[in-house]
Amino acid sequence: MIWNVKKARKDTVKVKIISNLLIEILKIMKLKKAIKKYKINPEEKSIEITIGNLSKCQAIKPRFTVDKNQIEKYRRRYLPARNLGQMIVSTNQGIMTHEEAQEKKIGGCLIAYFY
């Protein structure tokens, strides 16, 4: 959805579904400056997202389960360059980027990527 808003040359999007997974992904995207800010509205049960420095954002389907040695293979498959972009991995220690998962030497389930 964020990618469609970016293609339409809009700056903000209102998502009418709130989940803990979405909030964790937005935290990572904000840290990596892919989005500028997000505002949760509990009354309307929506999130307003302001897009930042983002070229592409997409979910990974099917959700591949990877071990610590396979992360590099999928990084080459989904990201355009070595130091460009992030894959989001759901691990038993929480949601994190592929770089953090490699540092901690753990695998998980690939959720999405952005750059």
Q: How many structural domains compose the chain?
A: 1
Question: Token pair for residue 7?
Answer: 């293609």
Q: Supply the range of the domain harboring residue 78.
A: 2-114
Q: Is 2 helix (H, G, I), strand (E, B) or coil?
A: helix
**Tens of pLDDT along 15-47?**
998 999 999 999 999 999 999 999 999 999 999
Q: For the residues 46-52, what does the mean pLDDT come to?
A: 93
* DSSP result, 60-90: -SS--EE-TTTHHHHHHHH-SBTTB-EEEEE
CATH of the domain at 75: 3.30.1490.10
∠ CA 20-26-32, nearest 5°, is: 145
Q: Evaluate if residue 2 carries a pLDDT over 80.
A: no
pLDDT at position 53, please? 87
**Tens of pLDDT along 72-89?**
999 999 999 888 999 999
